[in-house]
Amino acid sequence: MTRIMKNIIPFIVSSAILVSCSGNSGNTFESALNSNDLNILRTEKTKLESEQQAISEKMRQINDLIESLDTLKKIPLITTFKVKDTVFNHYLELQGNVKTKQNLLIYPEYSGILTQVYVKEGQAVRKGQTLAKIDDGGLGQQLAQLEIQADLAKTTFERQKRLWEQNIGSEIQYLQAKSNYEAQQKAIDQLKQQIAKTYVKAPFSGTIDDVITEQGSVVVPGQSPLMRIVNLNDMYIETDVPESYITNVKPGRDVLVNFPVLGTTYNAKIRQSGNFINPANRTFKIEIAVPNKDNTIKPNLTAKLKINDYTSTNALLVPLSIISENAEGQQYIYVVMDINANMEGIAERVIIETGLAQNDMVEVISGIENGAQIIKEGARSVKDGQTVSIIQQ
């Protein structure tokens, strides 16, 4: 190669000298510029264009000669990887909020003065436990009077019944006594139900999260919240899923749940999927059960969800960075064919069809087979049919 260049360089120099000498015959370049004669300038221009064409032709011949004599070809250096079947899991990433079905504001069912509050914030209570007492406004005294009247009505009824069984007295007297006794019992039951509303009881077992109304306040049904009770044992995460995932996001699907605030992550499953599409945002709701043994998870806590909506056990994955697109919008990559002992091969452009992507990797649905050698580094600089040299497997 050095000997060739030694022969070529003198040839180039001699050609330049010949051109320079020929340029000095007749009018020189400087004299043509100083003449201000249009005809002389045009003649000089024509002569220079001819010389330029001659030099270009000589350079082409030299380049052709160098290419024919050069045994060291310029082969692109690339790296490859062998694609093979692997398990591919795709995850839909969403954000959800923790909720509980047992998070309740307790309102009174009776109007009056809140005379007693038996619990405090943070206290654990049982279902049915009395939490507060509202003044009954004299209902207790009315109940005592009704019970006295009911005892008399009962005694009268029992006597009339015995007489009627002995065929003594009239039937109407017996029926009147029975009716009066039953009416008194119903009045007592109704009054007891009214009095029961003056006792505020826990609707389920849980913890008193907040005592809102202080003792001595006047409370009104539906308007005066008394306290909040929360049960942290039955927690779940709720989120909205786009309707396009309705066939893939179903109960039983695996979910990776992350609580950024707590710094904890755990595996869960979808326990319920909604059957209603919200027309406002075209989504449906799902629920994910949340284990909460240490009660660190609270209602309205934000959670990041990765829902496994697709799994393939024999997927062919390639990096997104090596995929190119042609003018027709087709995606393609380069594979290396006919690799020899010197680790040289032919780059072949392959049109592919891709599926879902995850973590900078995408599944190739069609176009390549298991075991294909895919060009990684250098994929953007090679051409179809070009010889390439593999420097790394």
Q: How far apart are CA 367 and CA 25, in angstroms?
A: 67
The pLDDT tens digits of the residues spanning 57-99 come to 888 888 778 766 665 557 888 899 999 999 999 999 999 999 9
Can you give the pLDDT at residue 7? Answer: 47
Q: How far apart are CA 178 and CA 301, in angstroms?
A: 61
CATH number of 94-101+231-310: 2.40.30.170
Banded pLDDT at 1 (limits 50, 70, 90): very low
The pLDDT tens digits of the residues spanning 258-299 come to 999 999 999 999 999 988 999 999 999 999 988 888 888 888
Long-range CB pairs of 183-189 (<8 Å, 24+ gap) are 183/153, 184/146, 184/149, 184/150, 184/153, 184/154, 185/150, 187/146, 187/150, 188/143, 188/146, 188/147, 188/150
Per CATH, is 104-229 categorized as 3.40.1440.10?
Answer: no
Q: How far apart are CA 129 and CA 203, in angstroms?
A: 8
Tell me the pTM.
0.59
**Domains 94-101+231-310 and 104-229 are alike in CATH topology:** no
The pLDDT tens digits of the residues spanning 297-320 come to 888 999 999 999 999 999 999 999
Can you give the pLDDT at residue 163? Answer: 82
Alpha-carbon dihedral angle through residues 153, 155, 157, 161, given to the nearest 10 degrees:
180
Tokens representing 211?
Answer: 């005592």
The pLDDT tens digits of the residues spanning 322-374 come to 999 999 999 999 999 988 888 889 999 999 999 999 889 999 999 999 999 99
* DSSP class per residue in 202-270: -SSSEEEEEE-SPTT-EE-TTT---EEEE-TTSEEEEEEEEGGGTTT--TT-EEEEEETTTTEEEEEEE
Tell whether the torsion through CA atoms of 180, 182, 187 and 188 is positive or negative. positive
Banded pLDDT at 10 (limits 50, 70, 90): very low
Tokens representing 386?
Answer: 């070009």
- Going from N- to C-terminal start, the domains of the chain cover 2-69, 77-88+314-392, 94-101+231-310, 104-229
Write out the CATH class of domain 77-88+314-392.
mainly beta
